[in-house]
Structure 1
Amino acid sequence: MTQPTTGAEAAAPPMPPPHGATDTTAARAAMVTRLEEAGHLRPGPVREALLALQREVMLPHAYVRVSGPGADPIDWRLLDGSHPDDQQEWLDMIHSDASILLQRDGEPLDSLPRGPVTGGHMTSMSTYTPATVETLQTLELAAGQSYLELGPGPGVSLALAATITGPGFATGVERDGHMAGFAQRNLDRLGVGAVVVEGDALDGHQARAPYLRIHSGIGVPCVPRAWVEQLAPDGRLLTTLVTRTPSWPGQLLVTRSPDGSVQAVLRGRPRGYRPLLGYRWLNTWDHRARIKAVPGTARTTRLTPPPDDAYGFWLACAYLAPGLVRNFQAETMTIVAPDDDSWAMAGPGDGTVRIHGQRDVWAELEEVHARWEQAGRPETYHVDLTDGAGLQHVTSGPGPRALSWALPALATIPRQAP
């Protein structure tokens, strides 16, 4: 594990914006206005940091996907923010709500060729901006707080956090050496005083612990013990809990009281962070054409397709009906069990559903929904992180009708050396 130089130690002066200062300032202001009007951003330090941070320094290039869904190999186009022909498209993109694609297949980032390129898969990207805003506001980040970011990638959220906390308080742990160096160089150019350490994010960073605020930019199946141990009294830890489906992620907020006790609350969310390396999501790509050709056998059902924002129900499905994934591009609600070659599709009319395969996917949803209603339609769940054996148990509350399950052990996920 290496310790890069901080902004104060680096000799490089701040980099001027590659585009006109007026253009970048106006782009940041427009981004903030859009986030406010959408209800994502409220007055406070996160808003001020968004206005102040020169995103163009942290995101000097961006990949654009040219190929359509399912293409293999994938065609990309790299926008170079310093090239006149790319500047306006690049400037608009890095100030949009899109996740900015930065790195293919762990490649070095010092001199990427501008223009078309074929093949590879994205291994690092910036976070969807509304999600970054939600995270930093949920953490209630303030000046002078020690902050740890796990898996910062290009470091945009780390730079925002450092802008809020002040120099010397923000640390990131990044396993990819090329990305860690890239982020550190850009942070140094901004002079925000943040440090990126190359290492395994699952271990946190004991050298600068404890932390008042910890944020994971990678999804994990359960909470690594090191993260909890490195959380200071009055501290907050925020992470995504992932299952094999990307459809129904959970957001876990861990707080430590002044007396040292820990509370953890899990809630369903419309989106979450990608899982750590070695954790493979299910998908519906290989089944979409088959479902269209053979939608399945129709039967009646008393379960009306639950709304997308019934997050407490869908989160329970991720654990109590495992191995399912939703095709959000389908015209009607379509849930697939890829490993079992089974699916369910709402319709063709009210009160009907089509099912196919050895697994009655819709019957499983009916059962979970009935249990969820009996439990009082919970939207949040408590997670017990105190089990000495390492198991982390989830429950919707007391009583025999409560929903409950255990989180998968972290040891089941391959750990890859940096």
Structure 2
Amino acid sequence: MTDPIQDVEAHVERMIGQIPAAPHRTRRVYDAMRAVPRHRFVPPLGQAFLGADEIEWIIDRRARPDDWLAAVYSDSAIVTQVDDGNGEIVLGAGDPTSAASAPSTVADLLGWLDPEPGHRVLEVGTGTGWTAALLSHLVGAANVTSIEVDPSVAEGAAKNLAAAGVQPHLIVGDGAAGWPDHAPFDRVHVTCGVHTVPQEWIVQSRPGAVIVLPYSTGLGDGHGLRLTVLPDGRAQGRFVGFAAYMPIRSQRPADAAPDDGSGQDLTTRIDPRLIACAPSGATLAMAAQTGLQVTTRQQDGRLLLWVMDQADPGTWTLVGHEPGLTEFSVYQLGDRPLWDEICDAYFRWVSWGEPVRDRFGMTVTGEGRRIWLDAPERVISR
């Protein structure tokens, strides 16, 4: 079939040229991107986030084909579904629930995964099908098993892959359960944010297998995590970079409970921006020590921070920053002093010498996960 897009090679090279060089972003991955053009996997309507400021932009191939093509071959993530398919893609509406990941992020995860020809790969989250196609180029389509929980998203991916002449094994189901029928796997490639690493991924992997996933703490940006499966059934590895993805559906955080008016009005001298703008090492350390979730929003010139206990949505704290103030408002619902806890964790990170993200790691066992600093023996998580 003739591809209607002209100068595909030039568009692909322009996209690759926008991805900053890094040792783990390999030529093999870029060659896969050349072999599997991205435009074949992006729907006619989407929501792109362009530039350093991530300006939201609706792209419509039918109405503005040049703008659509420019976005597809930029280093932009493109939202392809909102509200689990129950909403329309329009500016300022809906929660993103499926997307075509930014090419630089795709290059990161595939680089950290380091798949070799013949490796058996489990992919969790088929999405548009682009990464399943890239993996098929890297290891052979017969060796790729890709699972998608959303039937409509899975259907779209199957059509995209068929049109591109690529035939990996496609499964509709919960990727958190893996797919034991095709185990053991040499690589597990996860394209959704994970807070708890499912034991099934480890059990279904052979010793020495690599699992790469976006670790989502609910506090700050996500973190790329590269685990190696050990012969004793554990998995262990380090945080290797930035990776922010939509949460796996079985691990979506709960919404905060509504205010019942029983909260306490307090104040703090600690500027909320200290927590809101903390670097990745700090956010990882804070999340590991407390298990708390922090979300932010700008409203009427104020910066608002919600600190929430993910295990107890009825316990949360709202902290507000206003320019020019030296003390800031704190509204605490429930008895647990969440703001004090998150600040104590931040200053504990400072006392450690402000370690950066790649000094932290994780060990996953059948009993749960341990986050550590520098060495597995120095556990910092609760």
TM-score bin, normalised by smaller chain: 0.7 to 0.9
Pair 1:261–1:298, CA change in 2 (3 A): closer
By how many angstroms is 1:172 displaced?
A: 0.3
In the alignment, structure 1 residue 25 sits paired with structure 2 residue 4: no
Match of 1:327 in 2: 296
Matched ranges for 1:63-78 at <5 A:
63-64=46-47
Higher mean alpha-carbon deviation, 122-131 vs 354-363, is at 354-363
Cα deviation, residue 236, structure 1 = 0.4
Q: Give the C-alpha shift of residue 25 in structure 1.
A: 1.9
- The alignment partner of 2:18 has SS state of helix
1:413 corresponds in structure 2 to: none
1:337 equivalent in structure 2? 307
Of 158, 177, 186, 2:151 maps to 177
Structure 1 CA distance for aligned equivalents of residues 140 and 192 of structure 2: 24
Partner of 1:9: none
Query: Is the contact made by 2:226 and 2:240 (CA closer than 8 Å) also made in structure 1?
Result: no
1:147 positional shift: 1.3
- Indicate whether 1:274 and 2:246 are aligned: yes
Q: Tell me the secondary structure at the aligned position of residue 332 of structure 2.
A: coil
Distance in 2, matches of 1:208 and 1:53, equals 24
| Aligned counterpart for 2:101 among listed residues 118, 122, 127 | 127
Is the counterpart of residue 62 in structure 1 residue 45 in structure 2?
yes
The answer for the alignment partner of 1:167 in structure 2 is 141
2:316 alignment partner AA: D
Alignment-derived partner of residue 344 in structure 2: 367
TM-score, normalization by structure 2: 0.77
Instruction: Give the match for residue 3 of structure 1.
Output: none
Q: CA deviation at 1:221?
A: 2.2
Offset of residue 176 of structure 1: 1.5
After TM superposition, give the deviation of residue 277 of structure 1 in Å: 1.9
Change (3 A) 1:368 1:298: closer
Q: Give the Cα separation in 2 of the matches to 1:118 and 1:253.
A: 34
Listed one character per residue, the Cα deviations across residues 289-329 of structure 1 (whole Å, up to 9, x for unaligned) are xxxxxx9856368x993795732221121243444424376
Q: Report the Cα distance in structure 2 between the residues aligned to 1:399 and 1:119, rounded to whole angstroms.
A: 43
- Identify if the C-alpha distance between structure 1 residues 189 and 346 changes in structure 2 by more than 3 Å, giving closer, same or farther: same
Q: Does 1:211 align with 2:185?
A: yes
What's 1:240 paired with? 214
Structure 1 residue aligned with 2:364: 385
- Corresponding residue number in structure 2 for 1:151: 125
Deviation at 1:210, TM superposition (A): 1.2
How far did 1:353 drift?
Answer: 5.2
- What whole-Å deviation, never above 9, does each CA across 1:39-65 have from its counterpart, x for those lacking one? 597442011112221222111323238
2: CA distance, partners of 1:385 / 1:353: 41
| Deviation of 1:358 (Å) | 2.9
Aligned match of 1:91: 69
**Which of 176, 195, 199 does residue 202 from structure 1 map onto?**
176
Contact conserved, 1:17 with 1:54, CA < 8 A, in 2? no
Query: What TM-score, normalized to structure 1?
Result: 0.71
Q: 1:170 Cα deviation (Å)?
A: 1.6
Change (3 A) 1:50 1:397: closer
How far, CA to CA, are the matches of 2:126 and 2:192 in structure 1? 9
| Count of residues in correspondence between the two structures | 357
Give 1 or 2: higher strand fraction.
Answer: 2
Question: 1:34: Cα distance to partner?
Answer: 1.0
CA distance in 2, matches of 1:120, 1:308: 25
Q: Equivalent residue of 1:357, what SS?
A: strand
Identity of aligned residues (%): 22
Q: Partner letter of residue 46 of structure 1?
A: V
- Quick check: 1:267–1:311 contact (8 Å CA) kept in 2? no
Q: Distance in 2 between matches of 1:252 and 1:43?
A: 18
How far the C-alpha of 1:131 sits from its partner, in A, is 1.3
Q: Distance in 2 between matches of 1:401 and 1:246?
A: 22
**Structural mapping, 1:243-258, within 5 Å:** 243=217, 245=218, 247-257=220-230
Structure 1's 397 and 365: CA in aligned 2 closer, same or farther, altered over 3 A? same
1:412: which partner in 2? none
Structure possessing the higher radius of gyration over alpha carbons: 1
Aligned partner of residue 393 in structure 1, secondary structure: strand
CA distance in 2, matches of 1:393, 1:399: 8
Q: Bigger shift: 52-61 or 323-332?
A: 323-332
Indicate if the aligned counterparts of 1:334 and 1:346 stay in contact, CA closer than 8 A.
no
- Cα offset for 1:237? 0.2
1:79 corresponds to which of 47, 56, 60:
60
**Structure 1 equivalent of residue 380 of structure 2:** 403
How far has the Cα of 1:346 moved from its partner? 8.4
**Given residue 306 of structure 2, which amino acid in structure 1 is its aligned partner?**
V
